[in-house]
Structure 1
Amino acid sequence: MNQAKSSSSLKVKVQKFGTALSGMIMPNIGAIIAWGLVAAIFMSPNGWFPNKNINNLIQPMLHYLLPLLIGYTGGRMVHDERGAVAGAIGTLGVIVGTTQPMFLGAMIMGPLSAWLLKKLDNQFQSKIKSGFEMIYNNFSLGILGMICAIFAYFIIGPVMDWGSHWASVGVNAIINAHLLPLANIVIEPAKVLFLNNAIGNGILVPLGIQQAAEAGKSVLFLMESNPGPGLGILIAFMLFGKGSSKSSAPGAAIIEFFGGIHEIYFPYILMKPSLIIAAIGGGLKAAASPGSIFAILLVSAKDAYFGNIVGVLGAAIVSFVIAAIILKNDKSEGTDLATKQKEMQAMKAESKGQTMPTEESANESVKSYSDINKVIFACDAGMGSSAMGASLLRDKFKKAGINIPVTNTAVRNLKDENGLLVITQEELADRALQKSPNAMHVSVGNFLNSPKYDAIVANFKALTQVSDKPTASNQPAKSVGKLENIDFAKVKEVDFIRHDQHLGTATMATSLFNDAMKKAGKKIPVKAIRINELEDDPKHLVIITPAVKKTLATRYSDVQVVVVDDLLKDKKLGEIISKLN
């Protein structure tokens, strides 16, 4: 037990360190891409359209703009805006103290300068007399910044210059010895453990930029961002997978390869850990983020397009062949994604509302949601997968009439506050809990495909219905599901819910009801839809069996409902058709 806790603690610490490195690079990827595009298009003489005037932007951006942005961002992560300014001043010292692009130096001096300022503020800021705050703030920052810049110039600069030189020598030696593919033994397992941004942006991108400054391109940019391994594995699932993992793989492959969201294929590997062998088993001008084939081609060097395409497709073919062999020889019945997520859901039950209630228990668990006023999706980088997950839940909230904001951020930026629901990936749940212990936490296996979203919607919807009930009324309650309570003038669509019905099926019922509508000359559309696809509006007339009534009631309050005993033969069906316009 202690060993397991120690292992988990070590993993969290490694993730936190990696995220700190990545956190300085990720917000500035746009600036790095801007530099890469300028170099790729206008560099003299190797750009697509060489221009000696625009070429003058390349070196200042590389040596000054990008390191200063990284140092500023690193300082802000430690001590807000004061730390950001201190980080930029300290970074300038290391820039001027060497001739190399000082990305690694910026990643040291930015946080270090801010940390020293934070310690100084903690010691003296509370002792400053009223009226002298601005003098202290400005002069303490200025004096400490000066000291950090001088220290960086004389100490950190030469050390980083020496270290960068030998790091480049080492990387070049590995490339010349044709041993670069062995790096995947580290990179792919690290990606699956959600260290992809730390490996890519914290290590490979800084080294790649320095190499690109000398050679005009670097294969290091392609190593972590290569979508080939994930594409091969997902295609193997498309052909040889089982259950929902097979049916969801095509969509996941499109998102991974074209959208560059690599996190989407991680749960597939976690479901079959032996597939890490498939994941293990050219050069760019700048970092490709996200790792989309479009981004890779956009920043490819002029003479490297063929090599990069071959590299991506080759990785996809190799990972597909290995994954196909593993999946085809897998004799187990297999656990599909939905089942896996439900198992993890039960195992991840935590205190303070972290146990995710099921749809059936929504009425009992509704009180745990009464104080929630904001939902945040948190992933390692705060972009990509968390943004897509937030978009999915936001759309579900809109359809259910739930007015609660849904945003996304990086785990490192979470703040401990009440009234917050944090949704994160299971591998990052421990870190999210450390950052915001007073929030409600829900962990999911995959931001893009989790049954927990429907459970969350059900709880909020049940809460809305409870809060909307009148405290007192002398009027008898309206019986939901009765034909006489339907306002047929408002009906614009008839819906059958796809569900485990006792009698008949939604698909057959839809077909029969639609035929009857046509014979009666009625033109209102008839659809079979899933319960979470329904819009909460009285223009929808929903025909259900008693088995679905309770589930529907916890989600929707405005749709009009008719309850029938048999979806295929109940006499109410004919009456409904006769009353529709």
Structure 2
Amino acid sequence: MTTTSPAAPSTGGIRVGVQKFGTFLSGMVMPNIAAFIAWGFITALFIPNGWLGSESPVAAWRWADSAILGGGEVGGVEYPGLVGPIINYLLPALIAYTGGRMVHGVRGGVVGAVAAFGVISGAAGTVMFLGAMIAGPLTALVLKWVEKPWTGRIKPGFEMLVDNFSAGFVAFFMALASFFWLAPVIKWVTELLGGAVGWLVETGLLPLASIIVEPAKVLFLNNAINHGVFTPLGTEQVQEAGRSLLFLIEANPGPGAGMLLAITVFGVGAARATAPGAFIIQFLGGIHEVYFPYVLAKPLLILGLILGGMTGVLTNVIFQSGLVAPAAPGSIFAVLIQTAPGSHLGVICSVVFSAAVTFAVCAPILLASRRRDIAAEAANGDPLAAAIAKTEANKGKSSSTLSNLAGAAGGVAAGTAAVATAEISNIVFACDAGMGSSAMGASVLRNKFKKAGIDGVTVVNQAIANLDGTADLVITQQQLTDRAKGQSPDSIHVSVDNFMNSPKYDEVVEMVRRQRESD
């Protein structure tokens, strides 16, 4: 089993740094996705051209209620409705609170939310997600710095007084700074980004975004891209147009589905055997991370994903279709539920066409190396390791990422007999967002412990950013292990290539069983 004993944190280079920053951005949005989805439902139903809006024939008989909920004038009274206040105030405040809490706990969240209102009020008419992402964590960080000199030195009985007033003063000054200084800058940046996206849409160049998005996804930056970049920009477009295709640039399940179908038909060995199950998890469950190892094993498949992604974006540009809120997770069900009124044909075509193009591009790539992959499988007895070895041969040089993956796929005999020196009772599955793939992996391991009759072992899933060093054993995907080591350096780390189907789980169960027997 490929495990690493407790060691000093590894920097991991630029890739790990980018992943950490991206995870921090997405970490402010991901916990609040339910609020975005609720707002999406409200928008789809009650804006003037929504399903029950004042301009919808279905709602003509109850126009007054729809106008009140969507925002409008009824009986000489102007109602703000639910759509505007939620998007302009509630969602940015939630993001700022979450970001502040990530930096300095609940108190950091509170001061961050206060400061965010400085940005919101200072740039009226602009959706202030970017401002909230800056004001929230920055204010919490300032509070942390301000309180550092007297932390632990306050006389008993005065802690609450000092803490409340210090937080209040920091929130006050940061709200003013956000209002006068940060808000104008953020408004200018938001208008610049919005104009750039609008220019890409008008010129038909938006599909080129897939050249960056698809490879970045495979490097586990999917949540950072979707929820750190496209969600804020897309939500502002919904406010103006009632829909946005930006929600589907990263979340479209079509490209991943097309690649997995191609592997199901033309792949070899373990990849072909596991691809159908991965397709169900990815397309229906929305867990895109499940197909990343297949691309790492055969990087040329990224061409199919890029072209498929470009096809999906182009289709939505042509049909002028989009979603009303983020599709989270990126399941076909979530996509259809969040599809804007009148956009279903375009959205469905974007998924189907992108899957078809990806399948058409990946099929010849798989066929071209099929004989060699089969021969490598027969010679080495390990399909995934053989595919990785072939990939390195085609590249003409070794790859540390793929070498680590090959080590995980091939396994080490000594690892099976490994016994941890400290008792293992707390196991954590960690991934970028702490949901989806890690939750499914934790469920698989819990079932294995149950079948083995082993009690007293807690198996949970968390975001890597939330690891606090208390886990006895941490299980992560290969690309994320360096970050997990940095967050929890004293834990035993196990790297897997696939959360849903890894031989490491049996080895972990065996390790714990032997440990229990030796006690």
Whether TM-score is above 0.5 comes out as: yes
Contact 1:76 1:114 in 2 (8 A): yes
Could you tell me how far apart the structure 1 residues matched to 2:100 and 2:343 are?
A: 36
Could you tell me how far apart the structure 2 residues matched to 1:298 and 1:361 are?
A: 45
Q: Which moved more, 1:46-55 or 1:80-89?
A: 46-55
Pairing 1:37–2:41 present: yes
Shift in CA distance, 6/435, structure 1 to aligned 2, threshold 3 Å: closer
Structure 1 position 361, deviation (Å): 4.6
Return the letter of the residue paired with 2:159: E
Could you tell me how far apart the structure 1 residues matched to 2:122 and 2:498 are?
A: 46
Structure 2 match to 1:436: 488
Structure 1 match to 2:13: 9
Could you tell me how far apart the structure 2 residues matched to 1:202 and 1:54 are?
A: 29
Q: How does 1:504-519 map to 2 (within 5 A)?
A: none
Could you tell me how far apart the structure 2 residues matched to 1:132 and 1:464 are?
A: 48
- Correspondent of 1:206 among 232, 257, 279: 232
Shift in CA distance, 360/118, structure 1 to aligned 2, threshold 3 Å: closer
Q: How does 1:396-415 map to 2 (within 5 A)?
A: 396-403=448-455, 404-415=457-468
Return the letter of the residue paired with 2:384: L
Could you tell me how far apart the structure 1 residues matched to 2:134 and 2:210 are?
A: 27
Could you tell me how far apart the structure 2 residues matched to 1:254 and 1:8 are?
A: 33
Structure 1 position 465, deviation (Å): 2.6
CA RMSD of aligned residues (A): 2.2
Structure 1 match to 2:343: 304
What secondary structure sits across from 1:53 in the alignment?
Answer: helix
Contact 1:422 1:441 in 2 (8 A): yes
Return the letter of the residue paired with 2:479: E
Structure 2 match to 1:66: 91
Return the letter of the residue paired with 1:409: Q
Shift in CA distance, 360/439, structure 1 to aligned 2, threshold 3 Å: closer
Larger radius of gyration: 1
Q: How does 1:22-101 map to 2 (within 5 A)?
A: 22-48=26-52, 50=54, 51-55=66-70, 56-98=81-123, 99-101=125-127
Pairing 1:337–2:384 present: yes
What secondary structure sits across from 1:52 in the alignment?
Answer: helix
Higher RCO, 1 vs 2 (CA within 8 Å, ≥6 residues apart): 2
Q: How does 1:366-445 map to 2 (within 5 A)?
A: 366=419, 368=420, 370-403=422-455, 404-417=457-470, 420-445=472-497
Could you tell me how far apart the structure 1 residues matched to 2:326 and 2:454 are?
A: 39
Shift in CA distance, 120/200, structure 1 to aligned 2, threshold 3 Å: same
Return the letter of the residue paired with 1:371: E
Contact 2:428 2:460 in 1 (8 A): yes
Shift in CA distance, 18/359, structure 1 to aligned 2, threshold 3 Å: same
Q: How does 1:190-339 map to 2 (within 5 A)?
A: 190-281=216-307, 282=316, 283-330=322-369, 331-333=371-373, 336-337=383-384
Could you tell me how far apart the structure 2 residues matched to 1:127 and 1:212 are?
A: 50
Contact 1:244 1:338 in 2 (8 A): no
What secondary structure sits across from 1:256 in the alignment?
Answer: helix
The number of aligned residues is: 454
The answer for unaligned runs of 5 or more in structure 2 is 1-8, 55-65, 71-80, 308-315, 317-321, 378-382, 389-401
Structure 1 position 356, deviation (Å): 7.8
Which structure's residues are more often helix, by fraction? 2
Q: Which moved more, 1:48-57 or 1:128-137?
A: 48-57
Contact 1:105 1:157 in 2 (8 A): yes
Could you tell me how far apart the structure 2 residues matched to 1:402 and 1:338 are?
A: 31
Structure 2 match to 1:535: none
Shift in CA distance, 411/356, structure 1 to aligned 2, threshold 3 Å: farther
Cα deviations across residues 459-479 of structure 1 (Å, max 9, x unaligned)? 112222333xxxxxxxxxxxx
Structure 1 match to 2:505: 453
Return the letter of the residue paired with 2:169: I
Could you tell me how far apart the structure 2 residues matched to 1:233 and 1:147 are?
A: 52
Contact 1:231 1:316 in 2 (8 A): yes
Structure 1 position 344, deviation (Å): 3.6
Structure 2 match to 1:487: none
The answer for unaligned runs of 5 or more in structure 1 is 350-354, 468-581
Structure 2 match to 1:189: 215
Could you tell me how far apart the structure 2 residues matched to 1:297 and 1:290 are?
A: 12
Aligned-pair identity in percent equals 49
Return the letter of the residue paired with 2:111: A
TM-score (ref. length: structure 2)? 0.84
